[in-house]
Amino acid sequence: MFVLFEETGKFLAGRILSETDASLQVELDSGKRVKVKAANALLRFEKPAPAELLATGQSLGAEIELELAWEFASDDEFGFADLARDYFSSDASRPASVEQQAAALFCLYQAPHYFRRAGKGRFKKAPAEILQQALAAIEKKKQVAAQITAWAEALSQGQCPDPVREQLYKILFKPDKNSAGYKAVVQASRATRMAPLDLLQKAGAIASPYQFHWKRFLFENFPRGTAFPALQAPEVTDELPLADVSAFSIDDSATTEIDDALSVRGLGSGTVTLGIHIAAPGLALQPGSAVDAVGRSRLSTVYMPGYKLTMLPDEIVERYTLQEGRNCPALSLYLTLDEASLEISGSSTRLEQVPIISNLRHDTLDNTFTEAFFEAAQVSPPTGVQWGVELTFLHRLAKHFKARREVVRGKPENFNRPDYNFKLDNPPGQEPQGDETVGISTRQRGAPLDLIVAEAMILANSTWGQWLAEHGVPGIYRSQASLAPGVKVRMGTRALPHAGIGVKSYVWSTSPLRRYTDLVNQWQIIACVRHGRSAALVAPFKPKDAELFSIISGFDAAYSAYNAFQAGIERYWTLKYLQQNGIAELTATAFKDNLVRADELPLVLPALGAQGLPRGTKVRVRLGAIDEITLDISGAVTERLDAVADESTPATDEDDGEADMGAGPIAIAVDVNEPAADAADPLAAAI
């Protein structure tokens, strides 16, 4: 005697060796003996052989018309033998054959949308309306599967279907792994043995490398677009006194968000008053307002060659920027200094209207205000040069403050590499398309005008950081425990030392039009100005306020993403510069592992033959192919240009952590195996 039984969802058949009320001992065709629960024994038979029954039953079951079987089935609960009799036999009194019963059993198990299981070998047919829904879902699934196959075939043949193109960035970076587009890319990638990014690029899904980088950034950081809602700039309602100063700002010509200005009074009297004036949108914008919501959603201005996405709308920026020829609401820090020793004897913070006399632009004045100019001015005061006397004093003061900070740091700051400026020929304010002509110029890092602004901002940020702490008012601080390797700059609400800058505490508060943290800190400082020692009770953010920690978390993530995008898109334009100028070789300096840094361009790349070279070795590098999508380029050392460098030379601050500047393959989320560092650049941190 044989038995057909079900075991963990599979049907097996074998010879019965022994039997009790609860179980059977069964021998399979393989010789294996198994113990089968009596309840799992569904059909006993003497012939045919077990293997033949299984094969015949499967074949015959596949021929059963499910719709017809559903019609034949009883509305009440029934067994598989009942359905076999009704479906196969014309004589209701005669049972179906063993093969027919097995066929009905297999068919019923494989059609849960038609028949629901009601027990071992027992079923009940699905209601008509449920069946129709199930059939519609099955049909839809078939259509989706067919669509996936069609899209995958098109991708394999180098054509990108529009629905896949429209979902390109979602598929690559934030995929829904159940979506048809994602599955089509995975299927085509497996079939062609190509990486998904290469597959899509070959299929024409990526029409422009620049647009790929730009739209990917927007997809990840501005999913709702970059347009601002209609907003009106609120007016400053405070009755502010007019400051008795003549202030000027120093920025690049492209700067519209002029956050800071300087003034100097009392030169020649022995006691000088330095004024650091910061645009004060915090006097009009209130936490929780519509404008605040926009600022908090963006958290910072995004910079890139030829374009920027401002944190606040142009109309709002225009209302509060420190524009020359206007009396502008400002938060001012006044420091009283001895003109000879430059020691600070007092400070005060005020809310006032500040007359902005000039917006100086360093890119047009750098050739005037050079180190040589200021050295000569110390001997003979400059005449006929606007702001020459004030800038001469400020340059002397900046060098004094920088030297004092370096004592705290324990080592000097290194500005041994230039800054690079990118210039595109796109119309001002218009998004680049990626094929513009790019120019790259150099500017010495730590140039005199930069140094003046940077040291003034460091002074303001450190002074106000201490001032907030003295008033018991929390702020958003940046701190660094030490300059030891691996010790990073952190953001928090406590006034802690910043070893990289060399100050006791440090808040970002001098760029409230460009960084949300600065706007938050400005609100806190304004509370101190208005309410003194009771400010902690009325400041917008109280000690241990969860909102502050939420802002820190959001800002840290956004700022890192924005900086990473800026670095990546600058690398794109650097590679474009190489192509446009036909540069096939360049001079570089070995600095780590097999990486070299171009001497005249902002470019780090791996170079064959650089491995093992001492740091600082000058080499000539032949450039390889450029991939504008992955931003990858490699090279090979063709010539060594200098003698062996001193391998004991320590790495500079600027070298720390820079090995990742050579961009590698784009990180994507398609899995075909499945179905700014303050310590390195205090100047950049301050401005």
Tens digits of residue pLDDT in 16-47 = 999 999 999 999 999 999 999 998 999 999 99
Please tell me the distance from the alpha carbon of residue 131 to that of residue 471, in angstroms, as a whole number.
72
Q: Find tokens 């006993």 and name the residue.
A: 44
- Asked if residue 518 has pLDDT above 90, the reply is yes
Which amino acid, one-letter code, is at 434? G
Residue 342's Cβ-count burial label (10 Å; 0-12, 13-18, 19+) is middle
CA 395 to chain centre: 38
For 235-284, write each residue's pLDDT tens digit: 888 899 999 999 999 998 888 899 999 999 999 999 999 999 999 999 99
pLDDT of residue 680: 41
Q: Tokens 């070995």 identify what position?
A: 590
CB-CB neighbours of 175 under 10 Å: 21
Instruction: Of 188, 210, 211, 184, give the one whose Cα is nearest residue 199.
Output: 188
Question: Residue 679: pLDDT band by 50, 70, 90 thresholds?
Answer: very low
| Residue 677: band (very low, low, confident or very high) from pLDDT cuts 50, 70, 90 | very low
Q: Are 247 and 260 in contact (CB under 8 A)?
A: no
Q: What is the second-level CATH architecture of the domain 583-682? A: Beta Barrel (2.40)
Helices 388-409, 371-379: axis angle to 10 degrees equals 110
pLDDT for the residue numbered 664:
46
Does residue 665 carry a pLDDT above 80?
A: no
Per the CB < 8 A criterion, the answer to whether 582 and 570 are in contact is no
Calpha distance 480→491 (Å, rounded): 9
Q: CB neighbours (10 Å) of residue 388?
A: 17
Amino acid at 76: D
Q: How confident is the model at residue 197 (pLDDT cuts 50, 70, 90)?
A: confident
Compute φ and ψ for 496, nearest 5 degrees.
-120, 160
- In 73-177, where does DSSP find H-type helix? 80-88, 98-109, 128-156, 162-166, 168-173
Q: Looking at the predicted structure, is the pLDDT value of residue 681 above 70?
A: no
In the predicted model, what is the mean pLDDT of residues 353-374?
A: 92
Q: What is the pLDDT of residues 93-105, one digit of tens each?
A: 778 899 999 999 9
pLDDT at 670: 63
Tell which wins on pLDDT, 118 or 562.
Answer: 562
pLDDT tens figures, 463-481:
999 999 999 999 999 999 9
Q: Which of residues 18 and 7 earns the better pLDDT score?
A: 18
- In one-letter notation, the amino acid at residue 622 is R
Model confidence over 31-90: pLDDT tens digits? 999 999 998 999 999 999 999 999 999 999 999 998 888 988 888 999 999 889 888 876
Pair 555, 299: CB distance under 8 Å:
yes
- Please check the confidence at residue 173 and state whether its pLDDT lies above 60: yes
- Residue 657 has a pLDDT of 35
Residue 354 token pair: 């500040």
Q: What pLDDT, on the 0 to 100 scale, is given for residue 643?
A: 58
| Alpha carbon 72 to its chain's center | 61
Residues paired with 79 in a beta bridge: 122
Whose tokens are 């961009």? That residue is 663
Residue pair 329/353 in contact (Cβ under 8 Å)? The answer is: yes
The rounded distance, in Å, linking the Cα atoms of 64 and 60 is: 7
What percentage of residues in the chain have a pLDDT greater than 70? Answer: 93
Token duo for residue 439: 């120019």
C-beta atoms surrounding 331 within 10 Å = 26
* CB environment 279-314: b (16+ within 10 A), e (fewer): bbbbbbbeeeeebbebbbebbbbbbbbbbbbbbbbe
Strands of the sheet with 41-45, listed across from one edge = 33-37, 23-28, 10-19, 2-7, 41-45
CB 545 within 8 A of CB 524: no
Pick the most confident of 21-35, 125-139, 166-180, 670-684.
21-35
Q: Which two tokens stand for residue 417?
A: 């590499």
Pairing state between β 23-28 and 10-19: antiparallel
pLDDT in tens, 392-424: 999 999 999 999 999 988 888 877 778 899 999
CA 499 to chain centre: 27
pLDDT for the residue 445: 79
Task: Check: CB of residue 328 under 8 Å from CB of residue 353.
Answer: yes
- Please report, as a single letter, which amino acid is at residue 35: K
* Contact by Cβ (8 Å): 113, 141: no
**Region of residue 212 (phi > 0: left; psi between -120 and 50: alpha; otherwise: beta):** alpha
Confidence of residue 672 (pLDDT cuts 50, 70, 90): low
Specify the DSSP element, H or E, that contains 452.
Answer: helix 448-470
> Residue 461, CB half-sphere, CA atoms under 13 Å: how many?
33
C-alpha distances out from residue 254 to 133, 306, 355, 361, 454, Å: 62, 9, 22, 9, 18
For the full predicted model, state whether its pTM sits above 0.75.
yes
Contact between 329 and 259 (Cβ < 8 Å): no
For tokens 């601002």, the residue is 228
**Higher pLDDT residue, 244 or 683?**
244
DSSP state of 349: E
As a whole number, mean pLDDT of residues 2-26 equals: 92
- Euclidean distance between CA atoms 578 and 281, whole angstroms: 42
Where does residue 94 rank: exposed (0-12), middle (13-18), buried (19+ CB within 10 A)?
exposed
CB environment 614-645: b (16+ within 10 A), e (fewer): ebebbbbbbbbebbbbebbbbbbbeeeeeeee
For the chain, the residue count is: 687
> Any idea where the domains of the chain sit in the sequence?
2-126, 130-207, 247-563, 583-682
